[in-house]
Every structure is written in C-alpha cells, then in structure tokens.
Homo-oligomer: A and B are copies of this chain.
Amino acid sequence: MNVFLVHAHPEPKSLNGSLKDLAVDTLSGLGHEVQVSDLYTMRWKAVADAGDFADPGNSERLVYWRESKRAYLGGSQSEDVAAEQKKLLWADAVILQFPMWWFSVPAILKGWFERVFAYGFAYGVGQHGGERWGDRYGEGTLLGRRALVSVTIGGRAPHYSPRGVNGMLDDLLFPIQHGTLYYPGMAVLEPFVIYQADRLSLDDWAGIAERYRARLHSLFTDAPIPYRRQNGGHYDSQQVLKDGLGLGAAGTGIHLLRPGDPPEAPLAQP
C-alpha cells in the first residue's frame, strides 16, 4: 500500500523526527511504499495569500476560496500545492506527525491544509443546494484513504482526560480529525499520542517505539473512529443531529455512531 507522511517539526533530532524515521522504516519493512513531506526541510510556504495564484481572476480583490477554485479547476495551481495533492491521491493512508502547540497543529502544517486542501479538491466538492451540503464528512475526494494523527504533547495525560483542565483530547483534536481529515472523506484512526514529550528519557524510547510499531502494523486493519456521515441520514436538512441520536455522549462525541443507532444510508455510487 502507499503511505504519505506529512512531518511538521523543526528539529530532525527530535522525538517527532525519530517517530517519523521509525514510521518510514517500519512501513517500508512491511512492503509499503512511503513518501514523506518534511514541511520544515521543504521550507513549505505556510501563508495562504495572493502569491498562491499566478493568474488571479480578480486582481482587485482577493477572495481566496474563489481563486483556489479557479486555480484548481483550471490547472493553474502553484506547483508545490499540486504536488501535495498528487501525493494525497496516490496514498492509501496519510500520517500527520507533529507536536501539539497551543492545542493545535504547528502553523506550518495549518498552512499546508489551507493551501493544499483547495476548493474543489477538499471542500466545495459535490452537489450543493436545497438540502444537500456537498460531499463532505465521510464522502469526498479523499474517500477510501485512512488518516492517522501522531502527536507529541508536553503536558500530562490527566490534563487531557474527559474532565481535564486543558479539555478532552478528542475535543481538542476534533477540528483536525473531524473538521479537516474526515471532511474530504478520509477514514480517521484513533490518534497515536505521547504525553510529557519533553520529560522522556532515552530509556522510554524502546517502549514508545514498540507501541508505535504496533500501530503502524495495524494501520490498514484498525477500525476508524466511527464518525457519522453527513449524508448518512443522521443529520436533518439544517445539518443538525436528529433528535434521539447521541444521547448521553459528551461534547463532540455526539458525532460518533453508537450501538443501537439506526443504520446509515449507503454511500451514493460515484
């Protein structure tokens, strides 16, 4: 299978760098093809701006999504953006390796999403109108691919527990896992998380490596997070979860399928 790893850490000799290297070695050893985008090494352009469009449709006033759509559909995107989209389409699984900074991805990775996840590619896909809000959340261009977030966190696990002071990790990752990866159709796996990343000693590495190798071995067999499909019948015409669903779930957990839920409508044939 094909695995695309997006790496966002400024220091090769960091825990993130070691996890990236481990993933490449392990996946290659399993016979998978691996491509890596090491955003810092590539000096990835993090900021979405007019410079992304060589031939703007409206040079008087930049409307980013409109130019993004024009460039995507017209084949005039920046080469760096088009190259990343090609890797996403090539991939059967996408791994994001990053440190959690201010409860989200580093800016360089945020900017990768903003520029690569173009209109027509990752959003604005499918029929919009009436009660149909496009192909998103379980449908879209990246349907059929898996996504794994591998994240290092400075704080302690209890601070990220369901009632921890930082907020529950699942809620903090929701904008990334649900809002960004599931949005264009990827099946998102449970995240691989290392807490207290700055407090580890060399002795801890063997255990971490073993734990991560196990996750990489089951990359194509682990059950994804059971997010509800937008067009599966569980949301009403205003895209609000229907009465009676998600009862007793906490926070963003209402968007997960639960035992006893009515079956979702089958995916429309492409």
Contacts and interface: CB of A to CB of B under 8 A. Distances in A.
A223 interface: no
A45 to B, nearest CB: 9
B107 A102 contact: no
Nearest to A113: B102
A104 B63 CA distance: 18
Contact of A164 (B60, B156, B239): B239
A48 interface: yes
A205 to B, nearest CB: 15
Given A10-B64, A110-B104, A179-B172, A246 B163 contact: yes
B108 A107 contact: yes
A48 to B, nearest CB: 7
Q: How many copies does the complex hold?
A: 2
A159 interface: yes
Contact of A175 (B61, B103, B156): B103
A14 interface: yes
A61 B12 CA distance: 8
Contact of A179 (B10, B63, B103, B168): B103
Interface residues of A, number: 62
Interface in A212-270: 230, 235, 238-241, 246, 250-252, 254-255
Contacts of A254: 163
A198 interface: yes
A148 B171 CA distance: 22
A101 B48 CA distance: 10
A132 to B, nearest CB: 13
A111 B10 CA distance: 13
Contacts of A158: 238-240
Shortest 7 CB-CB contacts between residues of A and residues of B: A251-B251, A107-B111, A103-B175, A103-B179, A158-B238, A163-B241, A107-B110
9 contacts: A46-B47, A47-B106, A65-B154, A102-B117, A103-B174, A158-B238, A159-B239, A167-B255, A172-B174
Interface of A: 10-11, 13-14, 40, 46-50, 60-65, 101-108, 110-111, 113-114, 117, 133, 137, 154, 156, 158-159, 161, 163-168, 171-172, 174-175, 178-180, 198, 230, 235, 238-241, 246, 250-252, 254-255
